[in-house]
Amino acid sequence: MSTSAIKLMYWANILVAGWISITSLFFPKTAQMTVFSGNVAYSEVIRLVGALWGAIFILSVLGLFFPLNMSLVLLFQLIYKAAWLLLVALPAMRSGQPYPSGMAVFFLVWVLILPWIIPWGYLLGKP
């Protein structure tokens, strides 16, 4: 995969994770209604999620300068987004329970795109 495609993913992370991080950390009640579609009760966990996405934001900024070295952040996103979809969103959808549907769609798109962007050869130590 070309580094330009990887950098495009970092740019997307910077825009999305940056906005979610700032909103969740500094305006958690706004994040509750927007990011989480009002389907999550307000708690300080929203700020914890904001800190996680803040780390993804910072690592993605570094990824613009070191695209291959920082590609583990993309693998991390693939793993946690797929896990959330399978273990949280899908069961909620099946049982008719509320869940952040916008987030689920966003995560699904990311999970479908990331396997094609992640530099597997680099991460697995293959030339």
DSSP annotation string for 11-75? HHHHHHHHHHHHHHHH-HHHHHHTTTTT-S---THHHHHHHHHHHHHHHHHHHHHSTTTTTHHHH
Q: Is 126 exposed, middle or buried (0-12, 13-18, 19+ CB in 10 A)?
A: exposed
> Please, what is the angle between helix 101-117 and helix 72-84, to 10°?
140
Q: What pTM does this model have?
A: 0.88
pLDDT digits (tens, 9 = 90+) for 40-59: 888 899 999 999 999 999 99
Task: Supply the mean pLDDT for the chain.
Answer: 93
How many structural domains are present in the chain? 1
- pLDDT score for 127: 64
Query: In the prediction, which pLDDT does 1 show?
Result: 63
Residue range(s) defining the domain that contains residue 103: 3-123
Environment class of 39 (CB within 10 Å of its CB; exposed 0-12, middle 13-18, buried 19+): middle
Instruction: Tell me which amino acid residue 118 is.
Output: I
CA separation for the pair 2, 52 (Å, rounded): 27
Lowest mean pLDDT among 34-48, 60-74, 75-89, 104-118: 34-48
